[in-house]
C-alpha cells in the first residue's frame, strides 16, 4: 500500500483522483473495468500509442476526455499493479474531532462597570434604610423627652437637606461624577467608526461564501496558499490594492478538491462552482456565471492613502502585521487592527526599514554616502548603526498619507 500510494501521488494525482473525476477519470475500480477489454498496462504507459491500435475501450476514454493527452508514464507492470492495489483499497479519511480543551476564560473587564453600578445601588438602598432608622430613633428620643415627632418630609426634601448639610462632600462628589461622565463620553467618541483593535468588537461581516483563511493559508493546510497570499491576492506586490481573486481562481483551486472536510464545507464549494459557471460532473463550463457579492471588510477613509505594493514589496511587511493572525485563528475575515491614524504612525515610529539588500534604497544610500550634505541627522545615524525607522525616512510627513 505504501509503495502504491507513493507512486500514485508522484505520477497520477495531478490528473486523477481515486474516487472522482478530475482532468482524467477516477482510478478506483479501473483495472476491473479493463478486464478482458484491452491491455491496461500499455494504455497507462503510453495512451496515445495504444490508441492507434483502435482498442474500443481506449477510444471511448479518449472521446470522453479529449483533447487532454495522458502523459506517458515510466512505470513497470508491477508498479502499475501497486498503484491499482492502492486505489482499489483506498478509503476516504475519517474526519478527526479536534479537542481544543476547556474554553478560554472570558474577559470580565467589560463587566466591571456593571458590578460598580450594582454596588452603588446597594449602598444607596442601605443609605436610605439607615436614614429611615435614624429618623425613627430621633422620634423615639423626642417622645421620651416629651417633644413632638419630627415634621414629615418627602424623600427629595430629605436628600436636599442632607446635601446642604454636607456641602463639601457633595461638591466633590458632583465634580467627580461630571469628570467621569466627560471621560466616558470622550472614550466613546474616540472609537466612533473604529472596527478593530482591543477596545471595540472586530468587524466580521457575513460573506456569501464562507472562506476559512486559517484552512487555506495557515497550518491546517500546511501553508499551500500562504506564500504571502499571492495566489489569491496577486496584486498585493504590484498595486495599491491587494485585489480579490476571481471565482475562476477559486474554481481552479477546487477543481481537484470538490469536497470539504464536512457537509457544510462541500456546500460552500458547490457555491463556487455555481458562481463560476462550472459543472464538476461534466468537467466543463456552463456559460452561466454570477459574480460573488463579497462584503468589503477593510475600509479606509477617502482622505487616507494606502498602497499595498509600497508596504509588501518595498517595506517587506507581512500580511499579519495589519490583518492579524489570518494563518492561525481567523476562520472568517475580520478587521483585526483599528487602522486609525494613531495606529499607523505608531507602526511607522517602531518599524525599522529593511534596507540591507533592498534595491529600492540602494541608490539613495549610495548618494548619501557620497555626499554628506544630503544626509540629515537620522540618516547619518543610520550610516553608523545600520538602523533607521520609517518615521526617520519621512513616514510621519502628512503628505505621505494625505494628499
Write the DSSP assignment of 200-260 as a string of letters: SPPP-PPPSS---HHHHHSGGGTTTTTGGGTTTSTTTTTSSS-----HHHHHHHTTT--S-
Tell me phi and psi for residue 4, to 5 degrees. -65, -40
- Per-residue pLDDT band at 371 (split at 50, 70, 90): low
Which of residues 52, 70, 88 is at a domain's end?
88
pLDDT of residue 306: 93
Are residues 77 and 23 part of one domain?
A: yes
Residue 353 lies in a domain: yes
Instruction: Estimate to the nearest angstrom the gap between the alpha carbon of 308 and the chain centroid.
Output: 17
Residue 187 lies in a domain: no
Each residue's pLDDT tens digit, 177-215: 899 889 988 888 887 888 888 778 889 999 999 988 888
pLDDT, greater one: 372 or 75: 75
Count the domains in the chain: 3
Closest by CA to 298, choosing from 205, 231, 208, 400, is 205
How much of the chain is helix, strand and coil, in % rounded to 5?
50, 0, 50
- Report the CATH number at residue 32: 1.10.760.10
In this prediction the pTM is 0.59
Are residues 292 and 353 part of one domain?
A: no
CA distance 312 to 319: 8
Residue 226 lies in a domain: yes
CA distance 65 to 68: 6
Are residues 285 and 233 part of one domain?
A: yes
Residue 98 lies in a domain: no
pLDDT of residue 226: 47
Residue 193 lies in a domain: no
Residue 346 lies in a domain: yes
SS3 per residue for 76-134: CHHHHHHHHHHHHCCCCCCCCCCCCCCCCCCCCHHHHHHHHHHHHHHHHHHHHHHHHHH
Q: Which residues of 275-289 are buried (b: 16+ CB within 10 A; e: fewer)?
A: bbbbebeeeeeeeee
Are residues 288 and 234 part of one domain?
A: yes
pLDDT of residue 314: 84
Which of residues 299, 326, 352 is at a domain's end?
299
Of 27-41, 301-315, 367-381, the range with the lowest mean pLDDT is 367-381
Q: How many CB atoms lie within 10 A of CB 241?
A: 13
| Enclosing domain of residue 275 | 213-299
CA distance 288 to 294: 19
Coil, strand, or helix at residue 282? coil
CA distance 41 to 155: 101
In angstroms, what CA-CA distances link 87 with 70, 181, 306, 322?
A: 18, 71, 51, 44
Coil, strand, or helix at residue 276? helix
Closest by CA to 274, choosing from 244, 250, 294, is 250
Each residue's pLDDT tens digit, 231-253: 788 888 889 998 888 888 888 88
Residue 329 lies in a domain: no
CA distance 47 to 73: 9
Tell me phi and psi for residue 16, to 5 degrees. -125, 145
pLDDT of residue 269: 92
Residue 99 lies in a domain: no
CA distance 11 to 74: 9
pLDDT of residue 275: 93
Cell representation of residue 286: 456552463
Which of residues 88, 120, 155 is at a domain's end?
88
Each residue's pLDDT tens digit, 55-99: 988 888 888 887 778 888 888 989 888 988 888 888 876 655 444
Amino acid at each position: 500500500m505504501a509503495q502504491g500510494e507513493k507512486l500514485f501521488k508522484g505520477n497520477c494525482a495531478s490528473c486523477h483522483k481515486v474516487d472522482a473525476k478530475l482532468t482524467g477519470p477516477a482510478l478506483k475500480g479501473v483495472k476491473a473495468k479493463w478486464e478482458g477489454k484491452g491491455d491496461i498496462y500499455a494504455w497507462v504507459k503510453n495512451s496515445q500509442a495504444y490508441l492507434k491500435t483502435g482498442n474500443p475501450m481506449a477510444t471511448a476514454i479518449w472521446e470522453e476526455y479529449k483533447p487532454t493527452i495522458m502523459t506517458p508514464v515510466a512505470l513497470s507492470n508491477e508498479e502499475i499493479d501497486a498503484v491499482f492495489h492502492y486505489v482499489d483499497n483506498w478509503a476516504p479519511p475519517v474526519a478527526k474531532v479536534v479537542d481544543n480543551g476547556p474554553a478560554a476564560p472570558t474577559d470580565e473587564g467589560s463587566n466591571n462597570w456593571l458590578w460598580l453600578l450594582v454596588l452603588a445601588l446597594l449602598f444607596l438602598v442601605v443609605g436610605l434604610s439607615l436614614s429611615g432608622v435614624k429618623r425613627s430613633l430621633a422620634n423615639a428620643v423626642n417622645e421620651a423627652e416629651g417633644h413632638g415627632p419630627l415634621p414629615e418630609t418627602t424623600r427629595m426634601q430629605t436628600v436636599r437637606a442632607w446635601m446642604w448639610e454636607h456641602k463639601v462632600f457633595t461638591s466633590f462628589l458632583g465634580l467627580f461624577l461630571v469628570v467621569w461622565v466627560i471621560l466616558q463620553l470622550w472614550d466613546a467618541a474616540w472609537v466612533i467608526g473604529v472596527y478593530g483593535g482591543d477596545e471595540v468588537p472586530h468587524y466580521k461581516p457575513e460573506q456569501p461564501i464562507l472562506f476559512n483563511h486559517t484552512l487555506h493559508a495557515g497550518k491546517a493546510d500546511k501553508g499551500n496558499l500562504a506564500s504571502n497570499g499571492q495566489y489569491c491576492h496577486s496584486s498585493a506586490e504590484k498595486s495599491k490594492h491587494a485585489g480579490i481573486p476571481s471565482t475562476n481562481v477559486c474554481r481552479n483551486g477546487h477543481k481537484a478538491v470538490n469536497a470539504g472536510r464536512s457537509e457544510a464545507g462541500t456546500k460552500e464549494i458547490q457555491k463556487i462552482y455555481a458562481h463560476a459557471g462550472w459543472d464538476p460532473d461534466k468537467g466543463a463550463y456552463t456559460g452561466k456565471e454570477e459574480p460573488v457579492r463579497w462584503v468589503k471588510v477593510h475600509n479606509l477613509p477617502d482622505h487616507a492613502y494606502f498602497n499595498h505594493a509600497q508596504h509588501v514589496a518595498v517595506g517587506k511587511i507581512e500580511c499579519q502585521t495589519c490583518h492579524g493572525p489570518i494563518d492561525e485563528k481567523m476562520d472568517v475575515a475580520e478587521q483585526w487592527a483599528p487602522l486609525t491614524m494613531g495606529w499607523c504612525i505608531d507602526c511607522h515610529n517602531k518599524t525599522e526599514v529593511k534596507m540591507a539588500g533592498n534595491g529600492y534604497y540602494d541608490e539613495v544610500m549610495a548618494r548619501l554616502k557620497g555626499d554628506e550634505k544630503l544626509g540629515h541627522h537620522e540618516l547619518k545615524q543610520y550610516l553608523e548603526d545600520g538602523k533607521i525607522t520609517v518615521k526617520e525616512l519621512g513616514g510621519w510627513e502628512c503628505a505621505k498619507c494625505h494628499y
